[in-house]
Amino acid sequence: MNNFLLVIILLLYGQNTLVAEEFIVGVEDLDYLPQFGYDQHQEYGGIGIELLRQFAQSEPDIEFKFAPYPINRLHHNLLKQEIDFKYPDSIHWNINAKQAHPLIYSGNLVAYTDGLLVLPKNHGKTYKNAFIVGLPLGFTPVALLKNMTEFETTKKLKINELINLALLERVDGIYMNIDVGLYRLQQMNKSGSLVFDDSLPHVYDFYQLSTIRHKNVITKLNRFIDSHPDLLQKLRSQYKYNVIEK
């Protein structure tokens, strides 16, 4: 009798237990903290990642696995549906390549400003000749494409290498997330050696989560964000992230 009751209890318990479905979230293989990247323990984190992680933890049927890829490959992996989600993404990125794919986007998650970090002595400077821009490998300088007729690019995988190029005046500026650049300068004990030049083209926008197949997860994420209005500010404070607005 005892064994029979045990079997019944286990069956009932099993019926009420949700098995979490694992989703692969493709992320950028880039040290881009405090937005996203590897910490001192080589664990992938950051504001946006922690936001998604806390959402998944609030849903018993959802488990996120973060898989870093080179930026260019990450985009193709999403379109080929080799990953379930892509973060970061934006409805404004790679518009032509996405036209044949029915992408679904979350609401606005984490704000950012992409623009140019320059030497303080060059702040506000106008450029008659070609402007030389340092870029993280795989980045597209969206604001420059819309507003500057002539510029050349130098691409590097590591942010520190770009910063050193700017300090040595081998590039005129670095196009990247401004707060990430200032954060990195602080880590390198070089705060103030480069500054954001808001007189040059820049863009203020939001990172989003994108998918082709999982609209129901996006719906749940949007609902989670709406019901946790203080979470993002808490994460900004935790990572000491102060968004530079346009």
Q: Residue 86 and residue 7: Cα distance in Å, rounded?
A: 43
- 143 and 79 within one domain: no
- 197 and 119 within one domain: yes
- 101 and 38 within one domain: yes
pLDDT computed for residue 99 by the predictor = 79
Q: Flag whether 58 is in a domain.
A: yes
Distances from the Cα of 157 to the Cαs of 71, 139, 167, 169, in angstroms?
A: 10, 10, 17, 18
pLDDT computed for residue 192 by the predictor = 95
Q: Flag whether 221 is in a domain.
A: yes
pTM: 0.86
Cβ atoms 38, 32 nearer than 8 A:
no
The DSSP bridge pattern shows strands 131-136 and 62-69 to be unpaired
pLDDT computed for residue 148 by the predictor = 72
Q: Is the dihedral of CA 86, 89, 90, 94 positive or negative?
A: negative
pLDDT per residue over 43-93, tens digit each? 899 999 999 999 999 999 999 999 999 988 998 999 999 999 999 999 988
Q: Per the structure block, which two tokens stand in for 52?
A: 């998604």
pLDDT computed for residue 52 by the predictor = 97
Q: Domain containing 51 — which CATH number?
A: 3.40.190.10
- 235 and 174 within one domain: no
Q: Flag whether 246 is in a domain.
A: no
Number of domains in the chain: 2
Domain membership of residue 175 as a residue range = 112-204
- 97 and 133 within one domain: no
- 98 and 164 within one domain: no
Q: What is the dihedral of CA 11, 13, 15, 16, to 10 degrees?
A: 170
When pLDDT is cut at 50, 70 and 90, the band that residue 6 belongs to is: low
Q: Residue 196 and residue 24: Cα distance in Å, rounded?
A: 35
- 97 and 164 within one domain: no
- 101 and 22 within one domain: yes
Percent of the chain with pLDDT over 70: 90
Q: Residue 231 and residue 239: Cα distance in Å, rounded?
A: 12
Which has more pLDDT, 11 or 214?
Answer: 214
Nearest to 32 by CA among 73, 68, 64: 68
When pLDDT is cut at 50, 70 and 90, the band that residue 241 belongs to is: low
Q: What is the mean pLDDT of residues 11-18?
A: 53
- 58 and 153 within one domain: no
Q: Per the structure block, which two tokens stand in for 41?
A: 């323990």
